[in-house]
């Protein structure tokens, strides 16, 4: 996908051009599917202990409408601790959300949400048994809601929060391998809808 002009990189189901923030090792786009391969020591995190701040993970981003719902499946091999794929919502380098499917410190495949306002609030949630899960991020005004699903039909609420911003937001897809050598993340069934959810508990 590097052969395409960055300004015209498209995913079939997203009505906006996408651009890279930090280039991956490799990537591919086909229809409404995306693969991002992250290289070694790639991450996006601002440690509450202020001992580890980095933002070098490859991210493919677009500027959405004011209200929207973005969903995708996320799948990877969970080779090294902290390997992950994520949906991200970014105002700037100090204000962002990373909704990650990550190999946690115990080796579990974990739904993890990181909300950063200068410093990251790192929240570990449910453990997933297989290597694939569905994620959904919904924005309605200044309210962000995060969900996961095992079947892309029944959604479970993970986080519901205010995210006030003064700059245009970008949203998209991230791959990371903070202590590993490589992480190949597959995003499939990507869907973007310019709508406001009516019920935050069902995601509809």
67: which 2 tokens?
């209200």
- In DSSP terms, which residues pair with 190 in a beta bridge? none
Residue 180 has pLDDT above 70, yes or no: yes
Residue 6 has pLDDT above 70, yes or no: no
Mean local confidence (pLDDT), 14-31: 96
158 vs 4 pLDDT, higher one: 158
Q: What angle do CA 195, 199, 203 make, to 5 degrees?
A: 70
- In DSSP terms, which residues pair with 69 in a beta bridge? 138, 193
Cα→Cα distances 48→45, 115, 120, 121, 145, Å: 9, 11, 6, 7, 23
CB 140 within 8 A of CB 185: no
Residue 5 has pLDDT above 50, yes or no: no
Distance between CA atoms of residues 184 and 166, nearest Å: 34
Model confidence pLDDT, tens digit, residues 76-95: 999 999 999 999 999 999 99
């Amino acid at each position: 996908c590097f052969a395409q002009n960055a300004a015209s990189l498209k995913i079939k189901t997203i009505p906006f051009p996408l651009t890279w923030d930090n280039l991956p090792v490799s990537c591919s786009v086909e229809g409404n599917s995306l693969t991002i391969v992250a290289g070694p020591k790639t991450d996006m995190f601002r440690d509450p202990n202020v001992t580890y701040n980095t933002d070098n993970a490859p991210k493919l981003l677009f500027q959405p409408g004011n209200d929207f719902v973005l969903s995708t499946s996320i799948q990877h091999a969970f080779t090294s601790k902290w390997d992950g794929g994520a949906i991200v919502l970014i105002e700037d380098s100090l204000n962002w959300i990373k909704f990650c499917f990550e190999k946690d410190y115990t080796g579990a495949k974990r739904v993890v949400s990181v909300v950063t306002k200068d410093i990251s609030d790192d929240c570990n949630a449910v453990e997933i048994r297989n290597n694939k899960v569905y994620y959904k991020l919904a924005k309605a005004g200044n309210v962000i809601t995060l969900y996961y699903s095992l079947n892309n039909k029944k959604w479970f609420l993970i986080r519901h929060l205010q995210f006030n911003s003064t700059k245009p937001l970008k949203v998209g897809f991230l791959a990371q391998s903070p202590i590993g050598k490589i992480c190949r993340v597959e995003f499939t069934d990507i869907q973007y809808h310019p709508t406001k959810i009516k019920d935050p508990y069902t995601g509809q």
